[in-house]
């Protein structure tokens, strides 16, 4: 058999790599480069941080309707994701360590 159906992943290696990466992430000193790199490499973390930052932004923009806020978020999202990378990843680390 050949092709994708013949591929058998070596789960032990992938799982060990994921565990090592998670351990490295949780122990690495946090700076802008580390935070941005981690967000770019971990889609789950990126979604969590984006929702966390969106919630914070929603609190600030409480006077907007939902429709207005969604338009506003589309506009400010890139800046907030960049500015809030360290704070968001730190919040994620804190929650994970509990």
Q: What is the dihedral of CA 71, 42, 59, 84, to 10 degrees?
A: -100
pLDDT digits (tens, 9 = 90+) for 31-89: 888 899 889 999 999 999 999 999 999 999 999 999 999 999 999 999 999 999 999 99
Q: What span, in angstroms and rounded, lies between the C-alpha atoms of 39 and 59?
A: 23
Global pTM reads 0.70
Residue 34's pLDDT is what?
Answer: 87
SS3 state of residue 65:
coil
Confidence at residue 24, expressed as pLDDT on a 0 to 100 scale: 59
């Amino acid at each position: 058999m050949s092709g994708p159906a013949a591929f058998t992943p070596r789960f032990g290696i992938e799982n060990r790599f994921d565990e090592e990466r998670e351990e490295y992430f949780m122990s690495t000193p946090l700076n802008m480069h580390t935070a941005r790199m981690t967000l770019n490499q971990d889609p789950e973390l990126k979604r969590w941080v984006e929702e966390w930052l969106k919630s914070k932004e929603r609190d600030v923009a409480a006077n907007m309707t939902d429709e207005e806020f969604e338009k506003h978020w589309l506009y400010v999202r890139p800046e907030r994701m960049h500015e809030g990378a360290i704070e968001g990843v730190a919040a994620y680390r804190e929650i994970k360590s509990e």
